[in-house]
């Protein structure tokens, strides 16, 4: 199947992402084989609270990017949605706009489909779309909680979308969310309060430690498409900055390390549990704990010794 993917077969693409979602055991061999063909796409994360207009923003960006003859993929992740595989209404409407365009691939993923964890599934899906040959991949995610931050961390450039709406004031945004933004978008810029939102953002940026890149603030109106070209210009600017400063190399290295670490710990965990289950009854051990005949620390230590992984720790 990976050969078909590398040849640009869209059905192979869709099926491979489904395999990743279903945590199909056969996926590992395929991910191994496509790995050499990854690392070419530039990945842009788009995040923000529900209703800030991320989807229509991305739609406008798609039109713009296609006119530059770049192939683009969108992975729309909604951690709070059980739906997956492009079944949600909004997704189908969006598909209609672009369905005739082979240069665009849109896929939505919900939490229920992600057996290996949404963060893991997203990472693997990005890899597949990357190997498929897309130049630009958007990870669009709804909400600004931990799961969204976890998902957006696979992006090279992250865009945080805000609106001037009252409940969406800059002060109400949780710590840890502002820090992930490389570019701020104040969407629905025709709403009252736009200037205040921009001012608040500027003030916050003035107070931030700040590196070589100061996140720009773009006002957009995603219904009309206003400001979208400027947004795309800034994304391209940020990409240039990452490439020229060596930052891109750095974050990709960091990401490769993390992926390897995750994979290693996943393998270790599986192996350790296989060995344990082959040797002892965990239920009996738990009984010993409940009766306070032992404690979890001593028990874990002894058990690892028993399965051939003696620890040097106390």
Binding site for a copy of itself (CB under 8 A): 25, 28-29, 31-32, 35-36, 38-39, 80, 145-147, 167, 174-175, 249, 252-253, 256-257, 259-260, 262-272, 274, 282, 285-286, 289-290, 292, 295-301, 303-304, 308-309, 311-314
Closest CA to 159 of 186, 193, 131: 186
**Nearest distance, CB of residue 302 and a copy of itself, angstroms:** 10
Indicate the residue among 244 and 314 with the shorter CB distance to a copy of itself.
Answer: 314
Indicate the residue among 147 and 157 with the shorter CB distance to a copy of itself.
Answer: 147
Q: CA-to-CA distance for 177 and 145, rounded, in angstroms?
A: 8
**Nearest distance, CB of residue 71 and a copy of itself, angstroms:** 21
**Nearest distance, CB of residue 213 and a copy of itself, angstroms:** 22
Indicate the residue among 208 and 270 with the shorter CB distance to a copy of itself.
Answer: 270
Indicate the residue among 203 and 280 with the shorter CB distance to a copy of itself.
Answer: 280
**Nearest distance, CB of residue 172 and a copy of itself, angstroms:** 11
**Nearest distance, CB of residue 279 and a copy of itself, angstroms:** 13
**Nearest distance, CB of residue 177 and a copy of itself, angstroms:** 12
Indicate the residue among 25 and 192 with the shorter CB distance to a copy of itself.
Answer: 25
Indicate the residue among 149 and 185 with the shorter CB distance to a copy of itself.
Answer: 149
**Nearest distance, CB of residue 112 and a copy of itself, angstroms:** 11
| Sheet with 136-142, side-by-side order of all strands | 104-110, 72-78, 136-142, 42-48, 157-162, 183-186, 217-219
Indicate the residue among 147 and 158 with the shorter CB distance to a copy of itself.
Answer: 147
């Amino acid at each position: 199947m990976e050969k078909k993917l590398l040849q640009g077969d869209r059905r192979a693409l869709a099926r491979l992402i489904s395999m990743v979602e279903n945590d199909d055991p056969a996926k590992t061999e395929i991910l191994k084989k496509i790995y050499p063909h990854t690392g070419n796409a530039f990945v842009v994360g788009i995040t923000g609270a529900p209703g800030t207009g991320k989807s229509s923003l991305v739609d406008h960006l798609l039109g713009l990017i296609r006119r530059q003859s770049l192939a683009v993929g969108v992975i729309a992740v909604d951690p709070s949605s059980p739906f997956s595989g492009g079944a949600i209404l909004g997704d189908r409407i969006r598909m209609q706009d672009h369905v005739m365009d082979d240069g665009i691939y849109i896929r939505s993923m919900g939490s229920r489909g992600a057996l290996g964890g949404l963060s893991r599934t997203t990472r693997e899906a990005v890899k597949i779309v990357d190997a498929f040959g897309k130049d630009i991949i958007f990870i669009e995610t709804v909400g600004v909680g931990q799961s969204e931050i976890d998902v957006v961390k696979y992006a090279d450039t992250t865009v945080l979308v805000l609106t001037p709406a009252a409940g969406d004031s800059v002060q109400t945004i949780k710590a840890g969310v502002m820090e992930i933004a490389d570019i701020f978008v104040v969407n629905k810029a025709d709403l009252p309060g736009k200037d205040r939102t921009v001012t608040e953002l500027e003030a916050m940026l003035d107070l931030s430690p700040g590196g070589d890149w100061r996140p720009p603030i773009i006002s957009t109106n995603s219904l009309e498409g206003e400001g979208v070209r400027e947004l795309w210009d800034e994304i391209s600017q940020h990409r240039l900055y990452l490439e020229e400063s060596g930052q891109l190399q750095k974050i990709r290295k960091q990401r490769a390390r993390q992926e390897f670490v995750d994979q290693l710990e996943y393998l270790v965990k599986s192996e350790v549990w296989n060995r344990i289950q082959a040797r002892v009854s965990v239920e009996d051990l738990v009984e010993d704990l409940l009766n306070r005949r032992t404690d979890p620390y001593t028990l874990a230590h002894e058990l690892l010794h028993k399965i051939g992984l003696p620890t040097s720790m106390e």
